[in-house]
Amino acid sequence: MDYGIRSSTDPYQENVIMHYANGTEFEVPMKALDVFVMYNVRVCINYGCQLGASIVLLIILLLLTHSDKRKSSVFIVNGMALFFNCLRLLFQVIHFSTKFEEVYPYFSYDYSAVPASAYAISIAATVFQTLVVACIEASLVLQTNVVCSTVRRRYRHPLLGLSILVALFVIGFRCAWMVENSIAIIKVVYMESIWWIESATNVTLTVSICFFCVIFVTKLGFAIKQRRQLGVREFGPMRIIFIMGCQTMVVPAIFSITQYYIIVPELASNVLTLVAISLPLSSIWAGAALEQSRPPRSQDARRRNLWRVLAGGANSTLSPTTKDSPTDLTAIAAAQTLCYSDRTVNKGGSGSSRDTDAFYGIAVEHDISVDRVQRNHSLV
């Protein structure tokens, strides 16, 4: 639509005139308004996606974990990391609906009309962010201790001590940033003088992720190599943890380094969510593969394992229990001697009849033969 004679003025570069509470005028560039609106929209989309992913993973973790494993320290720490991450993202999303993010307070620096609840929401988001970092570092230390449990004591103890020291450095810088950020929120001042603390916090977190990545992936890589030498080539829990370890460490490290070169709103926030999501995924996937490789104990146990139905399908839980034959054995089991003392069924009889020789000894299925001798006395 033509509104008349065109002028040389660029409407996208003009200024918007606003007034302070005392009537004094001040100008706000149109470009600044566009940046303000687009930043809020992009950040809210980012936080909303992270919040949805964290909630879904928390529900999956609760559903797919055995009741007897919910008391383990790794499950508790991973669950707390997801729970705190959900609360952190929720408070950060709510922050953009408070008066802090209205146009006039933002450009006039007049936050007198902002209620105390808005300050509490912003501070709570900062506190929960620190709790997420603490849970993530604790989970990484615990998993490093488990992975390196087979390492010699002379190497395991210094490695565990160094891991704890790295985790404490990250938590310490995050706590310092939490305190300074909360003070700046209460005083409503620009945080230019303390940006170095946030930068140091991000750097220590990146170094921590890379450090645990080297330990975690290297140790499991050697373990998988040893399993291959033994003839075990199945896609088992060790390989699953190896793959998820790469994802858990490498991808967040890339995101953490990229934020210094690419300007993306709250890219550092994605690092915490990626680690908090990836840590439970590795245990769920590895546990599913481990349980599917085991013979079912009983029908009642299979009914209680809801997560096995979701992970392996109905066939994995409803199939009848059968004896393992030599052709059904895995590679590592086939390489060993198969010994059994089960009561065998008569060839010419029914399933209820038993061979009397089956009560007297152990049959060894191998290239050699072992004579069976009847025991004349009790072993107890």
Tell me the pLDDT of the chain (380 aa) as tens digits: 555 555 667 777 888 889 898 888 989 998 999 999 999 999 999 999 999 999 999 998 888 887 777 888 888 999 999 999 999 999 999 999 999 999 999 999 889 889 999 999 999 999 999 999 999 999 888 888 877 777 788 888 898 899 999 999 999 999 999 999 999 999 888 877 788 888 888 889 888 988 887 887 777 777 777 777 777 666 555 556 566 666 666 777 777 777 777 777 677 788 889 888 888 876 666 555 555 555 555 444 444 444 454 445 545 444 444 444 444 444 444 444 344 444 444 444 444 444 444 444 444 444 444 444 454 544 44
Mean pLDDT taken over the chain = 74
In the 8-state DSSP scheme, what is residue 230?
T
With vertex at residue 280, the alpha carbon angle to CA 278 and CA 285, rounded to the nearest 5 degrees, is 95
Last residue in a domain, options 293, 328, 347: 293
Strand partners, 28: 16
Rounded CA-CA distance 281/89 in Å is 20
User: Does residue 301 lie within any of the structural domains?
Assistant: no
Residue of 26, 189, 181, 195 lying closest to 111 (CA atoms): 189
User: Does residue 85 lie within any of the structural domains?
Assistant: yes
Q: Please report, rounded to a whole number, the percentage of residues in the chain having pLDDT higher than 70.
A: 67
User: Domain count of the chain?
Assistant: 2
State the CB neighbour count (10 A cutoff) for residue 238.
20
- Which residues fall within 8 angstroms of residue 191, CB to CB, at 6 or more apart? 180, 181, 184, 198
Strand partners, 200: none
pTM attached to this predicted model: 0.71
Amino acid present at 118:
A
Domain identity same for 268 and 379? no
Give the range of the structural domain holding residue 351, as residue numbers without chain letter: 337-380
pLDDT digits 0-9 by tens, 296-348: 554 444 444 444 544 455 454 444 444 444 444 444 444 443 444 444 444 44
Rounded CA-CA distance 344/359 in Å is 9
With vertex at residue 318, the alpha carbon angle to CA 313 and CA 323, rounded to the nearest 5 degrees, is 115
Domain identity same for 356 and 212? no
pLDDT digits 0-9 by tens, 89-112: 999 999 999 999 999 999 998 898
Q: Which residue has 């600044």 as its token pair?
A: 32
User: Does residue 314 lie within any of the structural domains?
Assistant: no
Domain identity same for 229 and 114? yes
CB 372 within 8 A of CB 360: yes
User: Does residue 6 lie within any of the structural domains?
Assistant: no
User: Does residue 184 lie within any of the structural domains?
Assistant: yes
